[in-house]
Structure 1
Amino acid sequence: MANELSNNTQTVFEQLKKLDEYGNEYWSARDLAKTLEYSEYRHFLPVISRAKEASAKSGQNIADHFEDILEMIPLAKGAQREVESVKLSRYASYLIVQNADPSKEIVAQGQTYFAVQTRIQEIQQMDEYNSLSSEDERRLFLRNELAKHNTQLAAAAKDAGVIKPLDYAIFQNHGYMGLYGGLDAKGIHAKKGLTKSQVILDHMGSTELAANLFRATQTEEKLRRENIQGKSNANKAHFEVGKKVRKTIQELGGTMPENLPTAESVKQIEKQQAKQLKNKKNKDDK
């Protein structure tokens, strides 16, 4: 998914992106306010304040992501006027759309765009991930990341009221159904030709694992950010996130996850690597 989603897709939010004199990307708060359908910039200022607060709570330095600037806006007859604005990093823009009016369709589109692109950037910036040269290595890395984030997702779901194992299985199925076009775990097993005992995640390639990693991380964040309570609301949230990820893949021309090839078990790769390490150690000890 990371490779497919990083294609040069010109959404309205991509078109708003600017580069400063050092080649760093940024977005103008004035541009975002207009695109997100705020009638006046002053009505957008509380959104910026909430985004700054969210940035601080996450341990980020506000100054690294929000820079007060002056920019020129056009007036009648070719005139211009200098106005206050804010230079926003991608992360700041992500927080902006997360704190904007959720009833607007353009805000929902912005949330999907910045969430997907921010996650891609996070993966691409991982030195460990960038050093991986083979599909097997990428699969192992993403499978371990997904295992970690699934634990965090389970904790967030528990806080929302998903307590019993059966309830959590239903919760997980809602995420799958959103991402896999209505297929639950049983349906995915059938589509992929897996037996009941085989773990779906162990037989995914890196693209499919990345899609599911994004589903898990964004659902966890949504549950906590919106303080979602109740099993049905948690299930709905998981389904909605999965559906948004699927829609993004579709818009970018990617292969739907249920149609991606079934890979050999990642456990076999782990065994092979463990054996190679053991043989290397024995050789070095001689």
Structure 2
Amino acid sequence: MADIEKYSDQTFEQHRKVNEFGEDFWYARDLQQVLNYEQWRNFLKVIEKAKEACKNSDQLVSDHFAEVSKMVKLGSGAMRNIDDYELSRYACYLIVQNADPKKEVVALGQTYFAVQTRKQELQEQFETLDEDKKRLAIRNELKEHNKSLAEAAQNAGVETAFDYAIFQNHGYKGLYGGLGAKEIHHRKGLKKSHQILDHMGSTELAANLFRATQTDEKLRRENIQGKSNANRTHYEVGEKVRQTIKELGGTMPEDMPTPEKSIKQIERLEQKKRLNLKE
């Protein structure tokens, strides 16, 4: 039996494709190989079970299991036309739920596609929120990611609170065109005691969330060591996010308006609403 340590999220992620509408999909033939099904006819039985589950969930099967054909090269060098499916994330989730549970990679697939499907659901729910709730959602996520970023920075050699403040300032300077925390405070008209992140709109918060997550991943992925290297990495990631915003024609973070309400004010209002509902 295959060793589970051979597998990771990349086992499935490396086969992910994106269609012309920006939607993720996987080819069934690729998934067949990943899930260790030697025969296509045996894997088709799993697909049929998944399609039935899709139908029972009141989903349109054709939206998730699109029949396609493609040319493949045989060992002899000749080309052959074969049947395949373009599978949505949800279709893949149903397939791994109906695949052979004795296969260790299937257990990983069940976790991977369950998490990915949940992320999609949360994204769709997020799009229905008003601006205040979007700000709350991103700010809370940023709090969690900043904990991970602080750990990654510490592993890189950013040890003291003073060092970490400098490290954070480099990220801000990259994203805000050279402006550090002090300059951003002044530009936004904030008091010294105010948390910068509590006085940002959802778009600006999202840019900072991307800065934090990408810096975290880069520090860990490249095993960056040394305070100066960590600081430079944070600056470069922030600068790259800024460049992306510019290329997309977006508003620069320092030019984004400061919301009237802070995150703490929104939290108090939400808490008051919950208390009123209980009465």
1:279 aligns with 2:276: yes
Counterparts of 1:231 and 1:82, CA distance in 2: 55
Q: In structure 1, which of residues 109, 115, 140 is the aligned counterpart of residue 136 of structure 2?
A: 140
Cα drift, residue 133 of structure 1 = 2.2
Structure 1 residues 280, 218: CA separation in 2 closer, same or farther (over 3 Å shift)?
Answer: same
Structure 2, gaps ≥5 residues long: 1-16, 36-68, 81-86, 88-116
CA contact (8 A) 2:184 2:254 kept: yes
In 2, Cα distance between equivalents of 1:240 and 1:123 = 28
Determine whether 1:213 maps to 2:202. Answer: no
Offset from partner CA, 1:86-123 (integer Å, 9 cap, x none): xxx9xxxxxxxxxxxxxxxxxxxxxxxxxxxxxxx997
Q: Structure 1 190/209 Cα, relative in aligned 2: closer, same or farther at 3 Å?
A: same
Inter-CA distance 235–81: structure 2 relative to 1 (3 Å threshold) = farther
- The 2-side partners of 1:201 and 1:62 are apart by 45
Question: Given residue 274 of structure 1, which amino acid in structure 2 is its aligned partner?
Answer: Q
**Aligned residue among 223, 231, 234 for 2:230:** 234
Name the TM-score, length of structure 1 as normaliser. 0.58
1:163-178 to structure 2, matched below 5 A, reads 163-178=159-174
Tell me which of 34, 41, 44 is aligned to 1:63. Answer: 34
Please, which of 160, 164, 180 is the counterpart of residue 184 of structure 1? Answer: 180
Residue 191 (structure 1) shift: 1.0
Residue aligning to 1:198: 194
Cα separation, partners in 2 of 1:123 and 1:188, compared to 1, 3 Å? farther
Decide which of 234, 248, 252 is 1:252's aligned counterpart.
Answer: 248
Tell me, in whole angstroms, the C-alpha distance in 1 between the residues paired with 2:164 and 2:198.
19
Of 253, 256, 262, the residue aligned with 2:258 is: 262
Give the Cα–Cα distance (whole angstroms) in 1 for the partners of residues 160 and 149 of structure 2: 14
Structure 1 runs (4+) deviating above 4 angstroms are: 16-20, 23-27, 69-73, 80-83, 121-125
CA RMSD of aligned residues (A): 3.5
The offset of 1:130, in angstroms, is 2.6
Deviates more, 1:130-139 or 1:220-229: 130-139
139, 156, 170: which is aligned to 1:160? 156
Aligned length: 189
2:18–2:24: 8 Å Cα contact kept in structure 1? no
- Cα distance in 1, alignment partners of residues 119 and 247 from structure 2: 21
The answer on whether the counterparts of 1:70 and 1:82 sit within 8 Å (CA) in structure 2 is no
Name which structure has the greater RCO, CA cutoff 8 Å, separation 6+. 1
1:63 CA displacement: 3.2
- Are the structure 2 counterparts of residues 200 and 19 from structure 1 closer, same or farther at C-alpha, using a change threshold of 3 Å? closer
Q: Percent identity?
A: 57
Structure 1: state its 5+ residue gaps: 1-15, 28-60, 74-79, 84-88, 90-120
Cα 1:70–1:201 change in 2 (3 A) is same
For 2:10, the equivalent position in structure 1 comes to: none
> How far does the alpha carbon of each residue in 1:130-162 deviate from its partner, in whole angstroms, 9 at most, with x for none?
364210000000000000000110000000000
Normalised by the length of structure 2, the TM-score is 0.60
In structure 1, the residue corresponding to 2:223 is in which secondary structure? coil
